[in-house]
Structure 1
């Protein structure tokens, strides 16, 4: 893997989408689905990536089989459309083990997560919490919040998102009931408007990745946030993922 120069996020996505997988470094053992660390090379640049093949997805009772890799891509496109840079560049493509998601690997300390974060990360956590409401994240564990060498917060593992029913399970309830910053509401409004435009590239892509009922639920969540202008509070039923890390 090349460390001679930093790779921009745009270049990382290009490598993921068009590069050649030239090495597989083994399975990532703490994942509930088959997950592999790989190297991808394109035009002389090599990056590390996390590869989650569709056929290695563990069946779930409440999510359709074989859809988790599509949801990983949908979460990235949503983050990208919002211009929030919360989800690392993620491609949906064929790999050594078939179709799957490939996500740019963010170098980080796995022992440093939500439960040990410095208070300086609170503004970034607030935005990640809002993102999780938007994508209906059913599994925001503390270990799914990572920080790179530039102190930038990233969210990973978005395979169980975008369900049409309310599924929000997260450790980040710190901001429940608080007002959402106006700038982020404006971003949500822009995203909402794009989903009302059939020939918009984001609208077209999302409809190819999740079901029509899930798109409608996505729109309803945006409408609710734009109306209340506040972070939701935990409701009845399970609200936290298990295990929490």
Structure 2
């Protein structure tokens, strides 16, 4: 990862196009350094759409902070991400992850009464002709780790399109601009483990993360978050360790992102 981060930080960015289905400006680029070239995504701060519940101009920094937390877990769930200057000013630059076209589906619509073996329920959904179906996700350890990370980040937008199964067998989470709010805003499709005990692996990772948030990781997050937001991340991590279980949906905040996919 150090080589990838150096490439993203120091390489020359060339913009090739814009991803038009995103709500903020998302530019497809290549970054080149010392004969190495890689595809990447560049999200300039100038292209961020103002939000009522997040300070203007902070989404790119939150994406960089989400990468730092992911890296600290050792799970490598977020592609290498940096905050740097670019052709359209400062912004987030993230290594591009190509989806594996042969990866099995991670979401499905199934019989409304019960999920099939190996699947976990999210919510009942209305489909065509007024019929209902059960929206489910796979009971997959990679997604479960992502659910734990989202609980720490307070991710308000874990849509089905915000994870990418890659050819290396990993699942990468992307689009972490609306994270780290001091208010509880967890919105996700990964509710299949809600209320269930955390795995031993997750408890071990969270224990290390709690210590790191008071040490070097906290220092790396400080340029991107307010002191209150950093404290809230510490409190969320401590609460996960205290309860020993995945969080439940909030009654005060919509628990499913919209649109979900």
Instruction: Tell me the TM-score normalised to structure 1 length.
Output: 0.90
Give runs of aligned pairs for residues 42-53 of structure 1, distance below 5 A: 42-53=33-44
d(CA) in 2 for partners of 1:188, 1:209: 21
SS at match of 1:209: coil
Structure with the larger helix share: 1
How much does 1:189 deviate? 1.1
RMSD value over aligned CA atoms? 1.9
Question: Is the CA contact (8 Å cut-off) linking 1:121 and 1:153 kept in structure 2?
Answer: no
**Partner deviation per Cα, 1:168-205 (whole Å, 9 max, x = no partner):** 000110111111111221111111112223xx2x2211
Question: Is the CA contact (8 Å cut-off) linking 1:114 and 1:145 kept in structure 2?
Answer: no
Question: Is the CA contact (8 Å cut-off) linking 1:110 and 1:143 kept in structure 2?
Answer: no
Match of 2:258 among 239, 242, 245: 242
Stretches of structure 1 that go unaligned for 5 or more consecutive residues are 1-8
Stretches of structure 2 that go unaligned for 5 or more consecutive residues are 109-117, 120-137
Give runs of aligned pairs for residues 1-245 of structure 1, distance below 5 A: 9-21=1-13, 23-109=14-100, 114-115=106-107, 122-197=140-215, 200=216, 202-236=217-251, 237-245=253-261
Structure with the larger strand share: 2
Who is 2:111 aligned against? none
Question: Is the CA contact (8 Å cut-off) linking 2:157 and 2:186 kept in structure 1?
Answer: yes
d(CA) in 2 for partners of 1:44, 1:92: 22
d(CA) in 2 for partners of 1:221, 1:183: 18
Instruction: Tell me the TM-score normalised to structure 2 length.
Output: 0.85
d(CA) in 2 for partners of 1:241, 1:122: 20
Count of equivalent residues: 233
How much does 1:29 deviate? 0.8
d(CA) in 2 for partners of 1:66, 1:109: 32
d(CA) in 2 for partners of 1:34, 1:96: 13
